[in-house]
Amino acid sequence: MPFIPHTDDEVREMLTIIGVDSIEKLFDEIPQNLKIGAKELQGIPNAMSEMKVNRLVKERAAKNNNKLCFVGAGAYEHHIPAPIWEVISRGEFLTAYTPYQAEASQGGLQLVYEYQTMMASLTGMDVSNASLYDGASGLAEAILMAIRCNKKSKSKCVLIPSTVHPSYRQTVKSIVSHQGIKILELPFDETTGITKLDSLKDYASEDIAALIIPQPNFFGCLEEVDALTDWAHEHNAISIAVVNPTSIALLKEPGKWGEQGADIACGEGQPFGAPLSAGGPYFGFMCTKKACLRQMPGRIIGCTSDENGKPGYVLTLQAREQHIRRSKATSNICTNEGLIVAAATLYMSLLGPQGLHKVAATCHAQTKKLVEKLDALKDIKLRFNTIYFHEVVLHLPIPAKEIIAKMDAKNILAGFDLGSVYKGMENDLLVCCTETKTDQDIELYVQCLKSCLGSTEVLKGA
């Protein structure tokens, strides 16, 4: 669609017809104290011409490279089978929006229906919605959902481990803090890197609405999910699982945690068929038990029959602000990231249960190989002595940001600097290894790390 700008004369003519003398008058019902002034907008750059914008985009695109990536921290480099983006690049998927007209959208509706079926099966839950913006906003939506579901709790207090992704915690606070919800952080054990179960004793007699349970957590460590889930249910709290979908193919699904299973499962769907893409677009997934179904944000695709008995797919349970009164909506920000969900659906379909399990197992096996090789180095040790999935924290003799800079010069993305988000962890590097990393890649990483550390006696016992 072409962009057709209006001239100043055209703008004045339109304003004259509707009876106002300036564009600002169109917004005069907004209180002055809510408006942002020029001072608050100082960080926004000046407008650029089309030619300059094109140049800027090309310069940014040139920064995308083929460096060997050992960074995880919430977004993971996985192999994406060629058919996935070949299929969803077709116009039927690429340009499609919300399928409001069911009679004209059966293919898209069926695809999302299949997605929901597979996600519910993967997480061990009863139902899945048609996705959210991303994992971080998905967790915030899960918290809002838990508050609505938990009629026994009046406190609006939510416990969230400090091992949950820092960006998720920031997003949660931004979204729910203005709705009277109190977020309380639980500390992690410095030795194991997982949530201190003893810290829950401080809340044993408190009114807690929900407990967040990450698996794996931000450090790659496996939390004691059964104990955490049972504690939540024993104290009348909703249990919210935040999971890496790849890991569920290898680990116990949230629906089977503890005696009753988690109540809600959410997370980031990027590992299923979406490239890193400098941070997006991704999608968030959410699954739940039937007891919480009516409070789930977004919508669900349902399967029904037409008058001839043929199966048909329809939008159902659309309790969002576009369909009902805003104050009654389960969410005012949720959406369906349909294109990326289509990629995830094809990814799960092509790999199947065995393929997903193989990917997860290979990720863990390659990470284990990396750890074994690094463990032989004199200057490096693992920060935590606990079970991990496909990420580990390395404790270095120098700040992690220095190693990252040195290895970047060697075309290797070494990992994530934990000192940037956790105080006292400046020498800790979060390293990820997926199925895309070969034995040769791992050896190259180890040798480059040796070189960057500059140690002449690199082997323990040398």
Q: pTM for the complete prediction?
A: 0.87
Confidence of residue 462 (pLDDT cuts 50, 70, 90): very low
Please choose, from the candidates 296, 288, 297, 281, the residue with its C-alpha nearest in 3D space to the C-alpha of residue 332: 297
Per-residue pLDDT at 297: 87
**Span 82-347: which CATH code?**
3.40.640.10
How distant, in Å, are the alpha carbons of 15, 23, 39, 40, 177 from that of 35?
22, 15, 11, 10, 21
Cα 387 from chain centroid? 22
Total residues found in the chain within this entry: 462
Residues 377 and 460 sit within 8 Å (Cβ to Cβ): yes
Per-residue pLDDT at 64: 78
Q: Which residue has the tokens 């310069």?
A: 59
Please choose, from the candidates 37, 112, 83, the residue with its C-alpha nearest in 3D space to the C-alpha of residue 303: 112
Q: Where are the domains of the chain?
A: 8-57, 82-347, 354-453
Task: Say which CATH architecture domain 354-453 belongs to.
Answer: Alpha-Beta Complex (3.90)
Render pLDDT for 214-239 as a digit per residue (tens, 0 to 9).
Answer: 999 999 999 999 999 999 999 999 99
Tokens of 461: 């016992």
Per-residue pLDDT at 322: 55
Helix axes of 338-375 and 106-123: crossing angle, nearest 10 degrees: 30
Render pLDDT for 389-411 as a digit per residue (tens, 0 to 9).
Answer: 999 999 999 999 999 999 999 99
Render pLDDT for 142-175 as a digit per residue (tens, 0 to 9).
Answer: 999 999 999 999 999 999 999 999 999 999 999 9
